[in-house]
């Protein structure tokens, strides 16, 4: 056995050739990097297979692959140089679709071990490749590898790192009395106040104190209220120091804002759909206009400039898609990016009852609502144990939140226990005529809201139960918090000391004149701002 297992690759590829549907319900998709770079022919075959299947091809063989590779001369050269046709025939011989999940599990474990080793992590208990062939060590490593899950392997790496950190970072005596702990707490606040990167919405951001690491925020709403869009807008706010201000008709660069490594996990929308929402946010151009190619020349310029911005900061954003999430694959995916890619901010869209989650607990008799609560608790544990910010969302019961209803965790679809471990819990809803009537005394001065956010949970802070009334353009992500009320719709005023300090005088405006002067064929101009 090796980390470059040709037989395993043939079993995987041959199974897919015989039955492409085996790829349809995987906990995590197979990626080209799951195949070793030392096995270029396997990577070329997988590249061909995945693209052919994505295009609708239902039967794949050597002739199909060779025809496809005609459009990729360098890949075709690799295919021919490595006796590609013979390799494909060997794959078809070894492929067993009925045993695909067993092959898949082995592939993912080997890929994880290879990743960890390449990044310098100790994997010695499982590293059968490094052991002498036929030795007792090799046998023991293979045995541990066969019995372990991906979570087990990651847990070992984490445990080893924790032990090292405790020896070198915590000292020999870590016991403290209450007074010492308090002094450490105050010192930490002095060095770094409990405030995170800015999120969308002035009042919302002030109340929750930004995206705080170690915390989990939960946002819920009806099916068409835009929960995913709100999550994308918040992620963009963390990543990009440049945004388009519609009211000023200018791009604004916040020069002191540091981009943060962010993971966005989608369970429903595709990565392309999420990317489209992001482009609309950064450019300030309505997504419907972008999709319909109905933009005027100035909007096209903004889109081009926004694309340059996204390219400039691309390393700070990682997209992942899990179509069938459960406790294991969600945890493994987040841990991988936290440990290997230094991710500090995670958006998980969203908590729901998937077939995989149900089947994970069907044999033990655990109810669906309990499984959903367990997933929520897991996200909170990840936030706390790895000091990362986690934001997630849920649906609400019925058709959504109606005016006059009590808006708290009791309305969450699946289980009200989902919100138990959340540090922040809020419900968003479109404003109805009865809502406008209730706050009519304030709309003349502050403007007419489109959405209202009910803050039903706030683990630290004194604004629990308040309502944020906002004007939201879901097409671009522009969100303006207009005014704040209590649960009875009485106006509230946030004192200056409650607000997160801002330094607008340090912002640099990028005017329309600047945009007009950009030559987009010169990518170096992206650094001018």
Report the 3 state secondary structure along 493-524.
CCCHHHCCCCCHHHEEEECHHHHHHCCCCCHH
Confidence of residue 507 (pLDDT cuts 50, 70, 90): low
- Determine the pLDDT at residue 160: 73
Nearest CA-CA partner of 379 in 395, 371, 370, 391: 391
- Determine the pLDDT at residue 264: 95
- Determine the pLDDT at residue 41: 94
Which architecture, in CATH terms, is 196-515? 3-Layer(aba) Sandwich (3.40)
Q: Check residues 180 and 393 and name the one with the higher pLDDT.
A: 393
pTM: 0.68
Q: Is the pLDDT of residue 513 over 90?
A: no
Q: Is the pLDDT of residue 529 over 50?
A: no
Mean pLDDT in residue range 147-163: 78
* 231-248 per-position pLDDT tens digit: 999 999 999 998 888 888
Poorest-pLDDT segment among 175-179, 325-329, 390-394: 175-179
DSSP state letter for 388? -
Mean pLDDT in residue range 335-358: 86
- Determine the pLDDT at residue 351: 87
- Determine the pLDDT at residue 512: 61
Bridge partners of residue 424, in order along the sequence: 217, 458
Residue extents of the structural domains in the chain = 6-120, 196-515
* 389-434 per-position pLDDT tens digit: 999 998 886 544 555 555 655 666 556 678 888 999 999 999 999 9
| Record: fold of 6-120 | DNAb Helicase; Chain A (1.10.860)
Mean pLDDT in residue range 206-230: 89
- H-type helices in 264-326, by residue range? 271-283, 287-292, 297-312
Residue 195, classed as helix, strand or coil, is coil
DSSP state letter for 467? E
- Determine the pLDDT at residue 398: 58
Mean pLDDT in residue range 120-144: 85
Place of tokens 């372990």: 148
DSSP state letter for 23? G
């Amino acid at each position: 056995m090796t980390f470059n297992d040709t037989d395993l690759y043939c079993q995987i590829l041959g199974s897919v050739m015989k039955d492409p549907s085996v790829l349809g319900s995987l906990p995590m998709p197979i990626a080209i990097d799951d195949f070793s770079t030392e096995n270029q022919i396997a990577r070329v075959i997988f590249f061909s297979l995945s693209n052919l299947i994505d295009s609708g091809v239902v039967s794949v063989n050597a002739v199909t692959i060779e025809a496809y590779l005609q459009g990729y001369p360098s890949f075709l050269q690799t295919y021919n140089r490595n006796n590609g046709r013979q390799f494909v025939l060997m794959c078809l011989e070894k492929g067993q679709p009925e045993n695909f999940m067993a092959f898949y599990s082995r592939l993912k474990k080997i890929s994880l071990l290879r990743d960890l080793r390449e990044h310098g992590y100790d994997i010695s208990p499982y590293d059968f490749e490094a052991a002498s062939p036929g030795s007792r060590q090799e046998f023991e490593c293979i045995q541990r590898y066969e019995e372990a899950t991906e979570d087990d392997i990651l847990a070992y790496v984490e445990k080893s790192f924790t032990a090292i950190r405790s020896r070198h970072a915590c000292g020999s005596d870590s016991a403290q009395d209450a007074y010492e702990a308090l002094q450490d707490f105050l010192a930490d606040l002095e060095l770094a106040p409990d405030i995170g990167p800015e999120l969308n919405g002035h009042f919302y951001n002030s109340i929750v104190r930004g995206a705080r690491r170690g915390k989990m925020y939960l946002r819920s709403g009806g099916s068409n209220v835009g929960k995913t869009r709100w999550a994308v807008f918040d992620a963009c706010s963390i990543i990009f120091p440049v945004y388009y201000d519609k009211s000023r008709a200018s791009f604004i660069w916040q020069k002191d804002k540091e981009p943060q490594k962010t993971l966005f996990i989608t369970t429903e929308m595709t990565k392309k759909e999420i990317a489209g929402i992001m482009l609309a946010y950064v450019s300030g151009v309505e997504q419907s206009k972008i999709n319909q190619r109905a933009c005027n020349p100035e909007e096209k310029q903004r889109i081009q400039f926004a694309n340059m911005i996204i390219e400039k900061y691309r390393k700070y954003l990682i997209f992942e898609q899990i179509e069938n999430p459960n406790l294991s694959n969600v945890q493994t995916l987040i841990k991988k990016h936290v440990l290997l890619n230094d991710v500090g901010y995670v958006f998980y869209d969203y908590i729901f009852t998937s077939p995989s989650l149900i089947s994970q607990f069907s044999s033990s008799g655990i109810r669906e609502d309990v499984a959903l609560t367990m997933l929520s608790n897991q996200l909170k544990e990840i936030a706390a144990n790895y000091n990362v910010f986690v934001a997630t969302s849920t649906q609400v019961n019925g058709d959504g939140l109606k005016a006059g209803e009590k808006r708290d965790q009791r309305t969450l679809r699946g289980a009200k226990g989902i919100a138990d471990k959340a540090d922040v819990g809020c419900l968003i809803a479109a404003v109805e005529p009865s809502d406008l009537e209730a706050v009519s005394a304030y709309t003349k001065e502050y403007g007419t809201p489109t959405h209202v956010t009910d803050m039903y949970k706030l683990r630290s802070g004194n604004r629990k139960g308040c309502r944020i009334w906002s004007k939201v353009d879901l097409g671009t992500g522009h969100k303006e918090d207009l005014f704040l009320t209590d649960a009875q719709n009485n106006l509230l005023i946030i004192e200056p000391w409650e607000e997160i300090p801002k330094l607008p005088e340090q912002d640099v405006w990028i005017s329309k004149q600047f945009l007009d002067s950009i030559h987009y064929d010169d990518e170096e101009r992206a650094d001018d701002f």
